[in-house]
Amino acid sequence: MVDLNTKEINEEQKSNDVNSEIGKQYPDCITIEREKIPVSVLQLSYPLSKIANILLWIGESIIVFLASTIEREYHQLYKSHWKNQLMLYSV
């Protein structure tokens, strides 16, 4: 009976051998889960992800600013409405 750990170790060793052969064939590629990814893609994706994070932060800041402005305007309108109602009833 073969131990399960031995099977896993053998499978991992085989995948390491395959990955090293792929690395020899494509030196400018990185292998992730047996997918060949060009290094140039990884070099581009990092700055793009940073730019995307900055744009998301700016967008969230704008949304928070607009929401607080709208809420403030709503409360002012609500207060003025009730002041007008009280003035009508007091006359």
| CA gyration radius, the chain | 31
pLDDT band per the 50, 70, 90 thresholds, residue 1:
very low
Q: Which pLDDT does position 81 carry in this prediction?
A: 73
The pLDDT value recorded for residue 36 is: 74
| Predicted confidence (pLDDT) per residue in 36-87, tens digit | 777 766 666 677 778 888 889 998 999 989 888 888 888 888 887 777 776 6
State the pTM of this model. 0.38
pLDDT of residue 34: 74
Could you write out the three-class secondary structure of the chain? CCCHHHHHHHHHHHHHHHHHHHHHHCCCEEEECCEEEEHHHHHHHHHHHHHHHHHHHHHHHHHHHHHHHHHHHHHHHHHHHHHHHHHHHHC
